[in-house]
């Protein structure tokens, strides 16, 4: 009973993320077509994450009240409409509004994590959270490839239609095969807008540490992702084709790390040890990347970076869910997703600012941040775990 809902949830999240991956690489090209300014291009790219920042806690809080499945279904339905709008967009304003809508309805990853928390016990929680990471990895590997092929077909509306079709497939799959998880007795009451989850985070000694570590790790990884193609072009002379293969390698490493290594070892090793090890790997990989000037070395340090990040994110999500009461788990995970959305907005901005000042600066700055995070992770591993009692 426990494996079946997780398998269906993985399939639903994966299909939806493939649609997201199809559209994402095409945005700068579409924006250039309308001759917009650099600020407007930045607004187009940041709008999705900005909406996730605003709406992830609301979706999580709503899922605590009415259930996980209705929120996930609403998000998928909204994604269908948003990608269809994207396909028919014939100007910058329509394009921007379609991305705002996609961000609003795509802000349900925290709800998906809360679903996992509902159907797993403490031992399997981290393994379940790794499914989301694996879905991200496969989605971002397959999606851009499909988007590139579709965009090269000469039919500009085709990528949007494919993304909408995939969201429709995910919606149908969820409608027929994704059950509502068992509801906890401590059901959320009260209005949609409130600060119960935030109060819990701030009043529980270790939770700001957990969320802060995940936000900084995501900030560093977003900085790495956003500058990688520019860095390889300057350091190796890579064109779009070579960078496409390189991102495929990154996605492959993420899938292997999340789907095979993390899911198998985390229950045996424990989340806190994974957090410390993952932080150390991410820091050392970034140090190596700063001076990697051969392809084998580059592929190796990329693998270290991805494995470090893959160990961190599900471990921290698992800790967060296990240290939060069931009645507000969706809201707390939504607050975490809001923090990650901010990291995905400011990480690329910081990375590109640093890159123009020095080729090694983004990697070295990220490594320095992760060394500080390593000290925090070691401190977290020595703090007593709080009880998730209360709401």
pLDDT digits (tens, 9 = 90+) for 7-51: 888 888 888 778 777 877 677 677 777 887 767 877 887 788 888
**What DSSP designation does 261 have?**
I
Q: Which residues contact 164 (CB under 8 A, 6 or more apart)?
A: 19, 79, 80, 83, 84, 86, 87
Half-sphere exposure of 110 (CA within 13 A, CB side): 33
Which of 147-161, 270-284, 297-311, 344-358 shows the lowest per-residue confidence on average (mean pLDDT)? Answer: 147-161
Question: Does 3 score more than 50 pLDDT?
Answer: no
Q: Tell me which of 188 and 99 has the higher pLDDT.
A: 99
All domains of the chain, ordered by start, with CATH? 1-179 (1.20.1250.20), 197-382 (1.20.1250.20)
pTM, two decimal places: 0.74
pLDDT higher for 189 or 368?
368
Segment 195-222 shows an average pLDDT of 79
pLDDT-derived band at 390, boundaries 50, 70, 90: very low
Residues 325, 338: Cα–Cα separation, whole Å: 19
CB-facing half-sphere around the CA of 376: CA atoms within 13 A: 20
Q: What is the C-alpha to C-alpha distance for residues 247 and 147, in angstroms, rounded to an integer?
A: 14
pLDDT band per the 50, 70, 90 thresholds, residue 200:
low
The tokens describing 3, both together, are 């494996």
Contact 44, 105 (CB under 8 A): no
pLDDT band at 238 (very low <50, low <70, confident <90, very high): confident
d(CA 49, CA 342): 7
21 vs 175, more confident:
175
CB atoms within 10 A of CB 222: 22
Q: Report d(CA 327, CA 65) in Å as an integer.
A: 8
pLDDT score, position 2: 43
């Amino acid at each position: 009973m426990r494996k079946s809902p997780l398998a269906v949830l993985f399939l639903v999240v994966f299909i939806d993320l493939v649609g997201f991956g199809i559209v994402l690489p095409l945005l700068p090209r579409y924006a250039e077509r309308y001759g917009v300014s650099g600020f407007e291009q930045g607004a187009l790219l940041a709008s999705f994450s900005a909406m996730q920042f605003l709406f992830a806690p609301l979706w999580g809080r709503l899922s605590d009240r009415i259930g996980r499945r209705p929120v996930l279904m609403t998000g998928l339905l909204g994604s269908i409409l948003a990608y269809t709008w994207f396909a028919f967009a014939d100007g910058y304003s329509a394009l921007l509004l379609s991305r705002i809508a996609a961000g609003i309805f795509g802000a349900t990853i925290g709800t998906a994590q809360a679903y996992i928390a509902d159907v797993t016990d403490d031992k399997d929680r981290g393994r379940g959270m790794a499914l989301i990471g694996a879905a991200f990895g496969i989605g971002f590997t397959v999606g851009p490839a499909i988007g590139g092929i579709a965009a090269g077909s000469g039919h500009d509306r085709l990528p949007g239609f494919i993304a909408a079709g995939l969201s429709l497939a995910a919606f149908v799959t969820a409608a027929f095969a994704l059950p509502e998880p068992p509801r906890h007795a401590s059901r959320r009451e009260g209005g949609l807008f409130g600060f119960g989850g935030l109060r819990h985070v701030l009043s529980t000694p270790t939770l700001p540490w957990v969320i802060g570590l995940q936000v900084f790790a995501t900030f560093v990884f977003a900085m790495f992702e956003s500058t990688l193609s520019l860095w390889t072009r300057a350091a190796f002379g890579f064109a779009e084709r070579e960078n496409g293969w390189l991102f495929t390698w990154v996605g492959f490493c993420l899938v292997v790390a999340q789907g095979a290594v993390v899911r198998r070892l985390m229950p045996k090793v424990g989340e806190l040890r994974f957090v410390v090890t993952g932080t150390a790997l991410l820091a050392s990989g970034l140090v190596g990347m700063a001076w990697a000037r051969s392809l084998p070395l580059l592929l190796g340090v990329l693998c270290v970076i991805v494995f470090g990040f893959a160990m961190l994110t599900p471990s921290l999500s698992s800790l967060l869910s296990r240290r939060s009461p069931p009645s507000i788990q969706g809201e707390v995970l939504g607050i975490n997703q809001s923090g990650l959305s901010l990291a995905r907005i400011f990480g690329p901005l910081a990375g590109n600012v640093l890159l123009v000042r020095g080729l090694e600066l983004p990697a070295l700055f990220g490594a320095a941040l992760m060394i500080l995070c390593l000290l925090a992770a070691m401190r977290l591993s020595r703090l007593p775990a709080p009880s998730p009692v209360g709401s």
